[in-house]
Structure 1
Amino acid sequence: MRITVGCDLTVACQQPTPLLLMVQPHTSRRVDLVTADPLVSNPAVPVTEFVDGFGNRCCCLVALAGDTQLSQRALVECSGKPDPVLPHLSAVPVEALPPETYQFLRPSRYCETDRLDQTAWDLFGEIPAGWPQVQAICDSVHTRIHFDMGQARPTKTALEVLEEGQGVCRDFAHLAIAFCRSLNIPARYCTGYVGYTGVPRGPEPIDFSAWFEAYLEGGWHVFDARYNTPRIGRVLIGRGRDAGDVPFLHSFGPHDLTRFEVITQALAAV
């Protein structure tokens, strides 16, 4: 199946302002791109693309004073199958982990595992290490945390999510990641496009979504504490230690985001 993903943004700046955007499908999905997927600005300004240390595609530009419209579209080939569920997978002992996974065991800006270790072991320490343990974390976070778009704030940490009991998809991911790391399971933050393909349309508008990947037997595997069910048509944009590594827009100066629309649309089979 094919899915159109993209976004339309309008950024208002009082003076020329450098912007960094991360809205294109991740380098790991380039093989699935059916068409080119440039970021287009109006007024037109030069856009420079680079790949960061996590394999994320980033776009740099200098927005002019006034309104700058930014648009991106990608047509992506997808399998049409839901996220795999592999409950037989075991955890990998720390001493056998690939060195590149170690950074995803440590505390990070929004995942303060050093303050959640005891809670994680109290809640999940008796569950077999591996897929069952990670799934139990997702079940718990999904049940404990109430989704509320009005509770989004850029400074909220995993511990604050647990204490407040509410948040948005990034908060679900941060708490689940922190619990995994506390249990010696590498976990990394993911952001991307997840529409309503294969499920009834919900009341919330389509937005950039957050989920996470845990390193178990066989490599990295997708988990989603927000929806807590396998989804079809997930298109990755970025990976990192937490949301601080993958902002869809970072402005190096004052700005107002006056338009924000995310598109995820599965195309009808021909």
Structure 2
Amino acid sequence: MALRYEVELSYEVRNGPADFIFNVQAARTPRQWVGWESLATTQFVPLQEFVDPPSAARFLRLQAYPGELVLRYAAKVQLQHHRQHPADVQEIRVADLPGTVLPFLYPSRYCESDKLNAFAMAQFGSLWQGHARVQAICDWVQRHVAFASGSSSGTTSAVDTFQERRGVCRDFAHLMIALCRAVNIPARFTTGLDYGADPALGPTDFHAYVEAYLGGRWYMFDPSGTAIPMGFVRLASGRDAADTAYASIFGDVVPGRRMLAIHAEAGPDGVVREPYRTTDAISSSDI
């Protein structure tokens, strides 16, 4: 499966210099290959790239000066998902988890799993352990939280969403992660683009989804139900949104327009394969 996506971000730097850290480049993993990519900015400034080994996230740092700054990035990405029958995907005991997975069991800034422990154990604690239990958590969040653009802020947490029962993809993801961790299932926050989302929800945008560690790998879940997981191009993953912002800005800056686009293209064999919804357990990351 091959996907092409484009990102254009515009900012007005009012007083400079201002520092930016972007996370919009496609991650390179054993299951996601970047065939080609291009990156340009309207200001001629040095670009510094750093890769976070545990998550494969690519951080781009630059310093901009007063005036307009536009960042444009495009890439063609090939994805080869691991697919498994859900009944064959089991949970792993805490005692047997790899050390790198352990941080995703703990409460974090936006995923207060400790505060939701009693509810999660009562609602999901007795369910058969495995992919089906995680899917039950995902389904519960999707049924009980309403998608409402502009209903939350950058400080809205899982507990806030649990109480208010509305939010955007970021909030759905935080709540599902907190509920998973509350029943001892490692879960992390992952970012991509909302491939297949209903245009009525707005133009193409960045998307937050969930990965749960089951059966020795990270499996994908989309608790908002607004997009097609098979079409998610991986950008970054972390404990919650605090680790995965597409842009972090340090300075007097006014955000401007934002344009994103994604579509399927022909793969190396010349065949266009459109992402589609599936009941299989799917994973796009071995790390």
Provide the TM-score with structure 1 as the length reference.
0.91
Give CA-to-partner distance per residue, 1:68-125, whole Å, 9 cap, x none.
011100011234x797652332211111111111100001010011111001111111
Using the alignment, how far apart are the partners of 1:2 and 1:57 within structure 2?
A: 20
1:63 and 2:64 matched: yes
- What fraction of aligned residue pairs are identical, expressed as a percent? 35
Q: Which residue of 2 aligns with 1:23?
A: 24
What are the within-5 Å matches in structure 2 for residues 31-46 of structure 1?
32-38=33-39, 40-46=40-46
Cα distance change on mapping 1:72 and 1:4 into 2, 3 Å: same
1:142 and 2:142 matched: yes
Residue aligned with 2:37, SS: coil
Using the alignment, how far apart are the partners of 2:30 and 2:204 within structure 1?
A: 20
Give the letter for the 2:214 counterpart.
L
What are the within-5 Å matches in structure 2 for residues 234-253 of structure 1?
234-253=232-251
Using the alignment, how far apart are the partners of 2:207 and 2:225 within structure 1?
A: 10
Partners of 1:142 and 1:228 within 8 A in 2 = no
Partners of 1:9 and 1:261 within 8 A in 2 = yes
Partners of 1:29 and 1:236 within 8 A in 2 = no
Using the alignment, how far apart are the partners of 2:30 and 2:206 within structure 1?
A: 16
Higher mean C-alpha displacement, 201-210 vs 154-163: 201-210
Gaps of 5+ in 2: 273-287
Give the letter for the 1:165 counterpart.
R
Residue aligned with 2:122, SS: helix
Structure 1 residue 135: deviation in Å? Answer: 0.4
What are the within-5 Å matches in structure 2 for residues 33-182 of structure 1?
33-38=34-39, 40-53=40-53, 54-79=55-80, 86-182=86-182
Partners of 1:41 and 1:68 within 8 A in 2 = yes
Aligned residues: 266
Provide the TM-score with structure 2 as the length reference.
0.86
Residue aligned with 1:172, SS: helix
Match of 1:212 among 199, 210, 216: 210
Which is richer in strand?
A: 2
Q: Cα RMSD over matched residues? A: 2.1
Partners of 2:194 and 2:226 within 8 A in 1 = no
